[in-house]
Structure 1
């Protein structure tokens, strides 16, 4: 009896966990029977047009280069006069083909400017709570893109945050 009880408890726990997972899973995306798209495609097309992106144009891999900055960025999250966490992230820049050399030449100055944006983001609470939420990440990317364009000109197309992690202290 002493050897059967742990096995029974494991089976009951496994069954309860499976049942809870099935009961609490998110609802599936609504399906449309007539084959139309459930998203607002007209609004998406307007947003792409406003951004100057042609959705019909094929973007080939030869159009852009992705330049990964050589080292990660480490940003302290300070609360109540002490370091509460460290955020580590890697950043890449999307530039036209052949545009990587100016980035590597100006990388120290670019890293300094990026660190200032990242510190400001951390001090405004951008890395607190759900720090990977879309709105917070968009705010961070916009700040980094504006800074990159101020340093390198309009050749920087976008900023890619390729890795991000937060380690609480």
Structure 2
């Protein structure tokens, strides 16, 4: 775990020097399928880097890190803390304007830190699809609203979450 965090810190610190913007986001996470039976809906939050355009002007790369807790309050059990590393591609299909709708997708690496100490942790590859809109605010600020559908583990497609997020980005 320490090696993974060190690598991520180096990669994202080095990459942030070239980032076009940085921001925070968070929102409500609704559990579905197997998750709905075991854990409660929860909140999520994270940090996102806008690395600028890729291949053409309407495609942007925005990697990010996020966190959420899988827990069941009725059973008074905290199942796991989940740390996600996201490699998201945003397609602004109507161009970049005052209001810019987008569609996106991206892989994610989810690290599970179990609270019951029964294991040291686990990681799974996930996949996300999302849609939303960017709103230009005053100066270098942007507001982002998005709806995400994600499979936490692509090998087990019965662990899905829908996130409704809001974020604010600052551009350099």
Tell me the TM-score normalised to structure 2 length: 0.32
Higher relative contact order (CA 8 A, sep 6+): 1
Q: TM-score, normalised by structure 1?
A: 0.32
Higher strand proportion: 2
Task: Give the structure with the higher percent helix.
Answer: 1
